[in-house]
Amino acid sequence: MAEVVEVLVPGGKATAGPPIGPALGPLGINVKAVVDEINNKTSSFNGMQVPVKIEVDDKKNFTVTVGIPPTTALIKKEVNVEKGSAEPNIQIVGDLPIEAAVRIARMKQNDMLSYDLKNAVKEVVGTCVSMGVNVDGKRPKEVLSAIDNGVYDKVLAE
């Protein structure tokens, strides 16, 4: 029976300390080897929290599976901000190009409830509403209406 440990780690900067060390210590595997592999696989997500799943089998072999960071982390990286707005309807902290919203939606599509890319993009734009991030220079709610009305169909088809 394989043991599974799921943790959120900073991309490329995981350590043998909490949460990884205490979770893996009782399993009797080389924690440093696991941490090195996690850092290697998450280095492209530098500065973001990345979900990681570590499976350890009966023979002390381990498999590291890296997930995609949360949508909010991807938006913050694209817009280049530390955090979302404290007052999202009043204070705008950045502007996300629609192409970036499509790129994020493609990355996250397997983890989303959406059946198609159009609805996945609408989920990303919806996240921008609560973060105080405009999309294509417009309020996210305006962009959601525009997506429904087919304004961005050409961008979504690419």
Q: How far is CA 36 from CA 19, 26, 51, 59, in A?
A: 15, 19, 16, 20
Residue 38 has pLDDT above 90, yes or no: yes
Give me Rg for the CA atoms of the chain. 19
**Domain 3-66, CATH number (from 3.30.1550.10, 3.40.50.300, 3.90.400.10, 3.20.20.370):** 3.30.1550.10
**Residue 156 pLDDT level (bands cut at 50, 70, 90):** confident
Please state, as a whole number, how many other Cβ atoms lie within 10 Å of the Cβ of residue 151: 14
Question: What average pLDDT score do residues 45-69 get?
Answer: 90
CATH number of 71-157: 1.10.10.250
**Residue 94 pLDDT level (bands cut at 50, 70, 90):** very high
In the chain, which segments carry CATH 3.30.1550.10? 3-66
DSSP code of residue 19: T
pTM, two decimals, is 0.78
Please state, as a whole number, how many other Cβ atoms lie within 10 Å of the Cβ of residue 97: 14
Which sign, positive or negative, has the C-alpha torsion 75, 80, 84, 88?
negative
The pLDDT value given to residue 155? 87
The pLDDT value given to residue 39? 93
Question: What average pLDDT score do residues 131-141 get?
Answer: 95
In the chain, which segments carry CATH 1.10.10.250? 71-157
The pLDDT value given to residue 25? 87
